[in-house]
Copies of this chain bind each other. A is one copy, B any other.
Amino acid sequence: MIQRGIALFAVLACGAVAVGAQPPTLASVLAATSDADWRTPDPENVVYLDLAAGRVVFELSPTFAPAHVANVKALVREGYFDGLTINRAQDNYVVQWGDANERDTAKRRAIRGAKPTLPAEFDRPLAAGIPWTALPDGDVYAPEVGWSFGFPAARDPKAGRTWLSYCYGVLGAGRGNDAASGGGTELFVIIGHAPRHLDRNSTAFGRVLRGIELLSTLPRGTGNLGFYETAEQRVEVKAMRVSADVPAAERTPLQVLRTDTSAFRQLIEARRNRREEWFKYAVGKVELCNVPVPVRTPASR
């Protein structure tokens, strides 16, 4: 239903008439980027979830949840997740993996250097050195929203706090009712409308860069909250690995559009005012979670 033709368009500005100039669209903004607009995530902050069906690639955010990032990497490096299962797929909400038997199993008891639980990192202090590209259109849930280091985020300048926002594809740490009962042994990804009520209620610490369709298409669990009810329904986690530990030939090379650039600000504008020919009405605003942060496979050299 979306046919993204680009209309010829007369742009009038400062008395000049540029007939035939094209207003920016997502496609035109991306086409105009240079290599400097893209970054290669630090392989120490990239984690792979390898399933029989393929690989899901995550970028982690040590800025927003340093203890969780360190702990999940430690769990990954201890092989904690290898052989565990995807246990939950709740429609329009989350896919979750970890220890199907939860709490106090052999897997959990075998954790060595990593920690079974951590204090929550629901938010963090605002600080110099954290870049911020603001979205000016307001937000139902937070005083300010925007992007930082490639992640959708929110902040409250009065409270001096900032946090990642639970947009589609964001990676969170599951927990029980105790705020300090999480820590990374249970992980989930958002596969539906952004449940922003999880913001500041659950530690968000990364997002999917590629492969989310391997999770979002999983059969929904028929148990309460979308949990699978039998062992046969669960998909095995073949392995989780930190990209830096993987031989170069087995890595998935990806680049992410920088969010602190003019190119990204143009992309935001292109999403606030959709100018593709298909669109008849441009509201002139956009919601945080409706602005994608593009990911690409770098061209071979």
Contacts and interface: CB of A to CB of B under 8 A. Distances in A.
A159 to B, nearest CB: 11
A120, A142, A200, A280: most-surrounded residue (chain B CB, <10 A): A280
Contacts of A285: 140-141
Nearest to A196: B287
Interface extent on A, as a size class? 35 or more
A202 interface: yes
A91 B212 contact: yes
Nearest to A288: B140
Contacts of A168: 92, 192-193
A290 interface: yes
A168 B194 CA distance: 10
A178 to B, nearest CB: 9
A219 interface: yes
A206 interface: no
Nearest to A219: B217
Interface in A39-76: none
A179 interface: yes
A96 B194 contact: no
A186 interface: yes
Contacts of A277: 177
A38 interface: no
A23 interface: no
Nearest to A287: B140
A216 interface: yes
Given A197-B271, A201-B280, 13 more contacts: A1-B172, A1-B174, A3-B176, A4-B225, A91-B216, A140-B287, A167-B193, A168-B192, A177-B277, A195-B290, A197-B279, A201-B278, A201-B281
Nearest 4 CB-CB pairings of A with B? A1-B174, A213-B220, A200-B281, A168-B193
17 contacts: A1-B96, A1-B174, A1-B175, A1-B182, A1-B186, A91-B212, A92-B168, A122-B281, A138-B138, A138-B140, A139-B140, A140-B285, A140-B286, A177-B277, A192-B192, A201-B274, A201-B281
